[in-house]
Amino acid sequence: MNLKKILNTNLVELDLKGNSKQEIIENLLDILVKTGNVKDRAVALEALLEREAKMSTGIQQGVAIPHGKTDAVTELLACVGIVKGGVDFKALDGIPSKIFIMTLSPSTRSGPHVQFLADISRVLISEGMREKLINAETKDELISLIVKRPS
Amino acid sequence: MTHLMTVLVLQLAVIIVAAKILGWVFQNKLNQPRVLGELAAGMIIGPYALGAIHIPALHGGLFPLPGTTLPVTPELYGFAIVASIILLFSAGLETDLPTFLRFSGKGSLVGLGGVILSFVLGDVVTVLFFDDVVHFMDPKALFLGTLSTATSVGITARILSERRKMSSPEGVTILAAAVLDDVIGIILLAVVVGVVKVETSGAGVPWGEIGIIALKAFGFWLISTVIGIIVAPRLAKNLKRFKSMDMIAIISFGLALFLSGLSEMVGLAMIIGAYVIGLALSQTDVAHETRERLLGIYNFFVPIFFTIMGMMVNFAAMKNVLVFGLLYTAVAFAGKIFGCGIPAIFAGFNMKGALRIGAGMLPRGEVTLIIAGIGLASGVIGQDMFGVAIMTLLAASIIAPPYLIKTFQGGSGYRSKLKDKDIGDIHSIELDFPGQKMADFIRGKLLEGFRNEEFFVHKVDYNKQIYHIRKDEILITLIQNEDKISINTTPENEAFVRLLMLEEVLDLKDFLSGLESMKSPDMMGADLLMGMFGVAPEKK
């Protein structure tokens, strides 16, 4: 899966607003809604929250990957948001989440969706990389950090 | 006519029962492949052993010698023909072209080396040993050369999976090489059968004519494969309109039979047509289902094939070629070990790795028998050479597995420490479930999850729950052992595998809460029982 094809500057937010899980998710979702590729915001939101209810997607070390499967989209959509101060996302390790990567994937179509999430999370394994992402000055810089990964 | 059919039905009865029982004994008691048991069944009940015993009611033995080139009746041999078509059709369906293309670099080097060297050695040793075979292009020599090429990687795959070496560079190279091995072996067979059909004596035919035949055989294979691969997705789509997987499977099989007949008509072996159709359909999404649906006839017919092959073993004829058989076996082994091992060294493996790859390419199986059967039926090789083929097969089955296990002990088979992933560091993720039923269910869910991620899921062995899950250069192995599921993969794919497993397990939460919201099982059980009122329940 080509990260470059999926992400562009419209899908990145360097200063994501929100003080709770609900707000963060809604604000991230709105980034995707603005692209016009989400047919039904309410349905998509429900899918995201439903997944979050099963287990927090705040994985570790300040990274969260809220995601959901929904028919409100026809192909994989993704966006990235940074909250410099961090937000309590009920992460497994209790650390406030700062880097958010959201994906929505169609529930009926197959595709490398989980693989995409895994690929992008792998970028974030190194602490140095996470620091760089959080402190990125421009959207282009952020994207190039994610795309230009050691292969 | 009636008597003929009576005998046929009785023969089949004895064959399927004997094949199943001996197959079971070999697999479960002797820890040998089932094929060998079925082969042994044929040897025991065949015309050269018990089958010759006079039974008064039949006015002869159950398996009398019909006095033709084949030691079994044409009616019975027809079953073996259909079985060989099923075998090759399934082999084609199983072929994993995308993975092969991915690893084609090292794999084809290794596969090609093994095929060329073992063909040449097998041919040359025949020319040197027999006074009446004077020419490299002698039909008998060509056939024995072809016989020497076929690798059956199923045994290797099973051993490597059990030892978690499937995703090692050696394992991946062996698998890719084996795909090429199959394809080249079958093209080679096509060419040799073509040449042999034209040749009348050992005198050989002009090179020009051989070229034309080879071109025709290769052309038929290539054109029908290309057309097949182009047409297959559309065909699969149209077949799906029937909304019945059975229809799709059976019609596909019908096509395999049709193309088999067609390839025989143009002067090639039947099995080539079957293989081509299988190969073409292997890339469609109905491939997996088709294989599953055909499993029933596969399980019925294929043991018959191996048993009939066993029946053709004439021990008296084998005695005379014992020396040649040993020599040929040694040469066949050398052909694979050096033919595959030497290219492996050039591909970056050290001696250890090269030996492992050579050992992995040793086992022989179905294809060897099919080629030998074709040779016997066409009269190119006699019962003595058929016996030699069986000897090689047996020797490979006995020697290869322990040898392979031995070679895989110790460190890396790579010459230089290249990248991490090339060293084959495999991580294993294990999950325990409260029972096998639960594990079965989760396994199904996980495999479906991988398929949704557009991975190819391939069951390595029909008797054990071992799966290969592949996409591009990613190879994941899933093994279920009763209530345990373990998934092996390289460290860089571990995150993906864990995430996918997590998602599937979380889905299970939905399923469980769904179950809870259902009526209680007791109530449902009571409802079900109420419906049975008036009918005495036999089981709980």
pLDDT for B354 beyond 50? yes
Q: Answer whether B499 sits within 8 Å of A121, measured CB to CB.
A: yes
Chain A residues at the B interface, defined by Cβ less than 8 Å, are 51, 54-55, 110-115, 117-119, 121-122
| Distance, CA of B83 to CA of B15 (rounded, Å) | 14
pLDDT, position B422: 43
Q: In the sheet where B456-459 sits, what is the strand order?
A: B427-432, B484-489, B474-481, B465-471, B456-459
Chain B window 90-149: which residues touch A at a Cβ cutoff of 8 Å? none
Pairing of strands A77-87, A97-105: antiparallel
Q: What percent of chain B has pLDDT over 70?
A: 89
A3-146: CATH number? 3.40.930.10
| Distance, CA of B405 to CA of A56 (rounded, Å) | 45
What dihedral angle (degrees, nearest 10) is formed by the CA atoms of A112, A123, B424, B464? -30
- Arithmetic mean of pLDDT, B439-468: 81
Q: How many CB atoms lie within 10 A of CB A132?
A: 13
Q: Answer whether B453 sits within 8 Å of A121, measured CB to CB.
A: no
Which chain B residues are closer than 8 Å to A121 by Cβ? 495, 499
pLDDT in tens, A68-83: 989 889 888 999 999 9
Ranges in chain B annotated CATH 3.30.310.10:
432-523
Q: Is residue B348 within 8 angstroms of chain A, CB to CB?
A: no
Task: Enumerate the domain spans of chain A.
Answer: 3-146
Buried (b) or exposed (e) across B208-236, using 16+ Cβ within 10 A?
A: eebeebbebbbebbeebbeebbeebeebb
pLDDT, position B241: 77
CB B86 within 8 Å of CB B302: yes
pLDDT in tens, B34-79: 888 888 999 999 888 888 888 887 777 888 877 777 788 888 889 9
Q: Is residue B500 within 8 angstroms of chain A, CB to CB?
A: yes
| Distance, CA of B342 to CA of B423 (rounded, Å) | 19
Q: Classify A23 in phi/psi space as left (phi over 0), alpha (psi -120 to 50) or beta.
A: alpha
Q: Is residue B492 within 8 angstroms of chain A, CB to CB?
A: yes
| Distance, CA of B163 to CA of B161 (rounded, Å) | 5
| Distance, CA of B188 to CA of B192 (rounded, Å) | 6
Q: Which of B189, B151, B149, B145 is nearest to B173 (CA)?
A: B151
pLDDT for B122 beyond 80? yes
ipTM field: 0.87
Contacts of residue B99, defined as CB under 8 A and 6 or more positions apart, other chains included, come to B175, B176, B179, B456, B470, B475
pLDDT tens series, chain A, 151 aa: 567 778 888 888 888 888 888 899 999 999 999 988 888 999 999 999 988 888 888 887 888 989 998 988 988 899 999 998 888 888 888 888 999 999 999 887 777 888 888 888 777 878 888 888 888 888 888 888 887 654 4
Q: Is residue B503 within 8 angstroms of chain A, CB to CB?
A: yes
**Most B CBs within 10 Å, among A114, A123, A149, to test the B interface:** A114
pLDDT, position B272: 79
CA distance A16 to chain B (A): 25
Which chain B residues are closer than 8 Å to A55 by Cβ? 502, 506
pLDDT for B22 beyond 90? yes
Buried (b) or exposed (e) across B126-148, using 16+ Cβ within 10 A?
A: bbebbeebeeebbbbbbbbbbbb
Annotated active-site residue A113? The verdict is no
| Nearest-by-CA chain A residue for B501 | A114
Q: How far is C-alpha A131 from the chain's CA centre? A: 17
**Most A CBs within 10 Å, among B452, B474, B512, to test the A interface:** B452
Q: Answer whether A114 sits within 8 Å of B503, measured CB to CB.
A: yes
Instruction: Identify the active-site residue in A67, A69, A98, A113.
Output: A67
Class of domain B79-407: mainly alpha
Which sign, positive or negative, has the C-alpha torsion B94, B98, B100, B103? negative
- Arithmetic mean of pLDDT, B403-432: 68
| Nearest-by-CA chain B residue for A56 | B506
CATH fold for the domain made of B432-523: TATA-Binding Protein (3.30.310)
CB B237 within 8 Å of CB B286: no
CB B381 within 8 Å of CB B138: no
CB A69 within 8 Å of CB B503: no
pLDDT, position B206: 67
Q: Determine phi and psi for B480, rounding to 5 degrees.
A: -110, 125
- Report in angstroms the alpha-carbon separations of B86 from B253, B310, B534: 8, 18, 47
Nearest to A122 among B452, B495, B509 (CB): B495
Contacts of residue A28, defined as CB under 8 A and 6 or more positions apart, other chains included, come to A13, A16, A66, A79, A81, A100, A102
